[in-house]
Amino acid sequence: MEAQGLSKWFYLGIVGIIIGVVMIIRAHGDNKSKAMENGYLLFILGCVGVVSEFTDFATVLLLFIAVSGVVLLLDKLIWGKSRSDTQIKPHYVHYSREFFPVVLAVWVLRAFLFEAYQIPSSSMRPDLTVGDFILVSKFNYGLRMPITNQVVIPINKVERGDIVVFQDQTKPNRDLIKRVVGLPGDTITYIDKRLRINGKSLTYQNDGSYDYTEAGPNGDVMIHNQRLIEDLTGVKHPIIVWDQVPPVILEMVQDFPGKENCQYNDEGFTCHIPEGHYFMMGDNRDNSLDGRYWGFVPDKAILGKAIYVWMNFRDLSRVGTKIE
């Protein structure tokens, strides 16, 4: 496999750090100057760009909390004792005091309560469209430990039909959103673009058509889809299928843990889901890189349940749409 280089954000981060340090030095310790304020802002954004290349954003926030917390602790125990009441606090102490409570609040909110995401692709059409900003409940399935993502206080179980956000199993520091179609222990079959779960065929109702445009190498392409209502064992939701694409593009199927539990052919596939894992598919069945191609999602990779669309600047009518 060919090694991938560092992203543009890494190099922009390096530039931000350098410019920020220069501005901080030129501010000559003046905590109230705009140069100092903007310098620290650029420095922090640059650090985020660099560190995010190697870990997730939650860990980046945790690192900032740790660094600013250590600075404040050292100031309280050592530096502050040798400083008179009339002396101005060093800039690194001043800005650690400014940033620490804000970053801590953001980290707690993201780690335990809610997180916002933007839908970047058409894989979950028709329910979710490109440009949707969605709110994800981080505590719906239980209180999870930061970093490890292990559940410490269970609340609800992941249910078939839920739309969930989870950690990509093929690329680090990237999250995906799909619908849960298979639970631990299930056997799912997808033949001729119809699902069977544990030997029982799902029911499908014709619901007209659904057209949308997708960017292609030679410009936008109009894709004409059949819209169906799928009854996912009690959870009815719309899906779309495109007759120009097979149920599974076999050459795109990757090697993944547990692949021996699956059988593929030209008509589709059958998979037995291991315990502690889930099977995810996009509602836009013929334009979704999902579990068919990269396998199962372990419970520890589940990040939360999508609940609402809170903004879409292209279509304000979608604001407040409940995700089901």
Catalytic center residues: 123, 178
Taking the C-alpha atoms of residue 267 and residue 249, their distance in angstroms, rounded to an integer, is 10
Q: Give me the phi and psi of 25, to 5 degrees please.
A: -65, -40
Contacts of 85 (CB under 8 A, 6+ apart): none
For residue 20, which of 46, 51, 50 has the smallest C-alpha distance? 46
- What is the secondary structure of 227-280 as a DSSP string? EEEEEETTEEEEEEE-TTS-S--GGGPPP-TTGGGEEEETTEEEEEPPTTEEEE
317 burial via Cβ count (<10 Å: 0-12, 13-18, 19+): exposed
CA–CA distances in Å: residue 321 to residues 284, 302, 306, 312: 19, 22, 11, 10
Cis peptide before 146 (omega within 30 of 0): no
Contact 307, 137 (CB under 8 A): yes
DSSP letter, residue 111: I
